[in-house]
Amino acid sequence: MLIFLPSGRKRETLSKIAGPYTSLELMICAASKLLEDHKSVLVGTGLPVLSAMLAKRTHAPNLLLIFEAGGIGPQLVSLPISVGDSATTHASVMASSMDWVMSMAQQGYVDYGFLGAAQIDPYGNINTTVVGEYARPRVRLPGSGGANDVGSLCWRTIVIMNHDKQKFVPKLDFLTTPGYISGPGIREAKGLPEGTGPYRVVTQLGVFGFDEETRRMRVLTLHPGVDRDLVAANTGFEIPMGENISNTDLPTEEELRLLREEIDPDGLVIR
């Protein structure tokens, strides 16, 4: 995973971050620690499902996994490669449908939603539709899928993505999924459920939250080897940092063993 740095710093910083684990593994472990036992999470494939599987095998054995295509509460014995993979309904509580899952979120039964993004702005709004002008984009992306429903209706949205100035932008090229839109109270004024919204953003540089008063993104923890200058150099907007920012907890040996030997032994994601 690349980190865009001022000239001459890439090699040094990457070697500091790598250690006995990769930056990808650190992101997965950091995201998994955000999930609580006896809660529900709507996950997709890739990093989100690895984070959720790791949480279930460590500190949150009663975490309820929900997949967009309809699998609710499966016992994942293998890594799903799509949200409709048969693994997502293995020994599940229910094999439902996409509209059932989204109606669960609409009724307030989904605590966490996991999303990725091509772009994110200071208020946690995300773009997964186009890069550039909509009519003639430089890149045409997959679009919303269920992302708008997840970001609009789940109580807490977690975004996991790469961190650079092309992705952390002051203004989105296209608004696919609403965050706090433009400040406090705007989500609710637009008709979205009170108390929902972006919760955390996990990148290869750190873990970020949102200020309760301004609803703008702020730094919570920085990964080992990452400093304030590195975050500023890779963020396209001003991001507040307190005086005493702690380091993100490192992956434990057991977490790494679970990831490499049980959750993703074929390296479909982590390699």
Q: Which domains does the chain have, with CATH numbers?
A: 10-262 (3.40.1080.10)
CA dihedral over 114, 146, 187, 138, signed as positive or negative: positive
Phi then psi for residue 71, to 5 deg, are -70, 125
Cβ-Cβ contacts under 8 Å for 261 (sequence gap 6 or more): none
Q: In this structure, what DSSP letter does residue 88 have? A: G
> Tokens at residue 139, please?
């890149």
DSSP bridge pairs for 95 = 71
Give pLDDT, residue 164: 97
Provide the annotated active-site residues: 68
- The mean predicted confidence, pLDDT, of the chain is 92
Predicted confidence band at 124 (pLDDT cuts at 50, 70, 90)? Answer: very high
Residue 256 has pLDDT above 90, yes or no: yes
118: left (phi over 0), alpha (psi -120 to 50) or beta: alpha
Predicted confidence band at 242 (pLDDT cuts at 50, 70, 90)? Answer: confident
Give pLDDT, residue 4: 36
Q: Write out pLDDT tens, residues 153-202.
A: 999 999 999 999 999 999 999 999 999 999 999 999 999 999 999 999 99
